[in-house]
Amino acid sequence: MSEDIVVVENLSKTYGKQVVAVDGISFEVKKGEIFGFLGPNGAGKSTTIKILTTLLEKTSGKATIDGLDVDVDQSKVRRIIGYSSQEVGVDDDLTARENLMLQCSFHHIPKEKAKAKVTELLQTIRLAEAADRRLRTFSGGMRKRLDLASSLVSDPKILFLDEPTTGLDPQSRQDIWDYIIKLNRQGMTIFLTTQYMEEADRLSSRLCIVDQGRIVAEGTPNELKAKIGADKITVRFKSADQAVCQKAKELLSKIEGIDAVGQCGDGLISENGLNIMTKNGSTLVTQVVRILDGAGIDVEQLNLSAPTLDEVFLKLTGKTLNVVERKESVGSRGMMGRRR
């Protein structure tokens, strides 16, 4: 119990009478971990993070941060959390330093201490040189880094990040990831929502997959991938002869540890090939090659791939994440944010 910093029990949020945004979810976040909340647009991620950060009142259920109820002990909760919203809550008319100093004054940090803290943070996020420039000239990545830093001025016990890299270019995304990992190594507990499989996979020590306000799966990225139960070995033969492929299929099916061999040509365009599903692909690859070689079947190409969270999500919800549509809507929001 003592190592859980966030405890959520049967949490629900209903807008009006009809719209159920969060539908009775329960989970715990352990101290020191990066906890991911992965799901598509409208899954209830932002609603959940807003309830945990005291921005939104829950309809029912229980949610505590470090033992403090998010509704009852609002002001105490606010003293121990940091929050970085999807919208990037920085003031474009101010400089980077002024933005951070303003956050310090919101947290009642004495001026001298604040100055030192801000200088240190600006160094860490590599904005020391741009510190006294107004944000109008900043790139999306710079603004996001500043936003992250501004949620850290009070040395929070836990940091809440709502889609930290949505709408960022790959380099900026990598920067943010590196920064998040660095913070976590220094002991910061992080709760992040994301709609990117790769992000959840790379960053989170544990994650929940959410869809339509419910948690559909929970575990470490590897545990979740293991639920799919398989690595995938794809073999492509030099010969286009169907008989060769059938023979290979027969031989490979006999190998112990192979769960399934697909149909010839399955998933391959105008090529003779096979998909092989197994629990431990890496150890079986050599055996596959040896057996095919022994039978005189020439292999043109062989791929071993681990299942991705994409496949987990697909299996659990029967659909893929529609990231493209999401990107567009974020783009227009970003423009609105800058138009001040």
Partner 1 sequence: MMEMLSEVVAIFSRWNKKLVRQPILIFFNLIQPLVWFLLFTQAFSAIGSIQGFKDLTGTSSYITFFTAAVIIQTIASSALNTGIGVVNDFGSGFMDKMRVAPINKSSILFGRLFSSALTTVVQVAIILVIGLALGVNIASGILGVLVIFVLAAFFGMAWSGISLFVALNTKNAETTLSIGLLTTFPLLFLSASVMPLGLLPSWVQEVAKVNPFTYIAEAFQSLIIKGFVWQNITNSLIAILIVGVISLGASILLFRRKIS
Pattern of binders to partner 1 over 275-294, x per CB under 8 A? --------------------
CB of 71 to partner 1, least distance (A): 9
Q: Which is nearer to partner 1, 91 or 298 (CB)?
A: 91
Q: Which is nearer to partner 1, 86 or 189 (CB)?
A: 86
Strand partners, 9: 62
Restricting to residues 15-54, name those near partner 1 by CB under 8 A: 53-54
Q: Which is nearer to partner 1, 94 or 277 (CB)?
A: 94
Q: Name the one residue in this structure whose structure tokens are 């099916």.
A: 253
Q: Is 107 a binder of partner 1 (CB under 8 A)?
A: yes
Q: Which is nearer to partner 1, 159 or 200 (CB)?
A: 159
Alpha helix locations (H) across 134-255? 140-150, 170-185, 197-203, 221-228, 242-253
SS3 76: helix
Q: Is 329 a binder of partner 1 (CB under 8 A)?
A: no
Among 9, 69, 106, 116, interactor with partner 1 by CB under 8 A:
106
Give the list of residues 6+ apart from residue 53 with CB closer than 8 angstroms, or none: 70, 77, 81, 83, 160
Q: Name the one residue in this structure whose structure tokens are 């306000």.
A: 213
Nearest CA among 7, 54, 29, 3 for reference residue 191 = 29
Q: Is 316 a binder of partner 1 (CB under 8 A)?
A: no
Q: Is 89 a binder of partner 1 (CB under 8 A)?
A: yes
Q: Name the one residue in this structure whose structure tokens are 């062989």.
A: 302
Q: Is 86 a binder of partner 1 (CB under 8 A)?
A: yes
Q: Is 94 a binder of partner 1 (CB under 8 A)?
A: yes
Instruction: Return the number of other C-beta atoms located less than 10 Å from residue 87's C-beta.
Output: 14
SS3 275: strand
Cβ atoms 45, 212 nearer than 8 A: no
Q: Which stretch binds partner 1 (CB under 8 A): 101-109, 194-202, 288-296, 305-313?
A: 101-109
CA angle 179-36-315, nearest 5°?
A: 135
In single-letter form, the type of residue at position 131 comes to: A
The DSSP element (H or E) to which 114 belongs, if any, is: helix 111-124
CB of 92 to partner 1, least distance (A): 8
Q: Is 265 a binder of partner 1 (CB under 8 A)?
A: no
Q: Which is nearer to partner 1, 31 or 134 (CB)?
A: 134
Among 93, 120, 259, 300, interactor with partner 1 by CB under 8 A:
93
First to last CA, the chain: 46
Q: Is 83 a binder of partner 1 (CB under 8 A)?
A: yes
CB of 17 to partner 1, least distance (A): 20
Q: How far apart are CA 39 and CA 98, in angstroms?
A: 35
CB of 78 to partner 1, least distance (A): 4
Q: Which is nearer to partner 1, 104 or 215 (CB)?
A: 104
Cβ atoms 44, 209 nearer than 8 A: no
The backbone region for 139, taken as left when phi is positive above 0, alpha when psi lies in -120 to 50, beta otherwise, is beta
Among 2, 75, 186, 270, interactor with partner 1 by CB under 8 A:
75
Among 90, 130, 200, 228, interactor with partner 1 by CB under 8 A:
90
Restricting to residues 121-150, name those near partner 1 by CB under 8 A: 134, 150
Half-sphere exposure of residue 1: CA atoms within 13 angstroms, side-chain side: 2
Residues that bind partner 1 (CB under 8 A): 53-55, 57, 74-75, 78-79, 81, 83, 85-94, 98, 102-103, 105-108, 134, 150-151, 336-337, 340
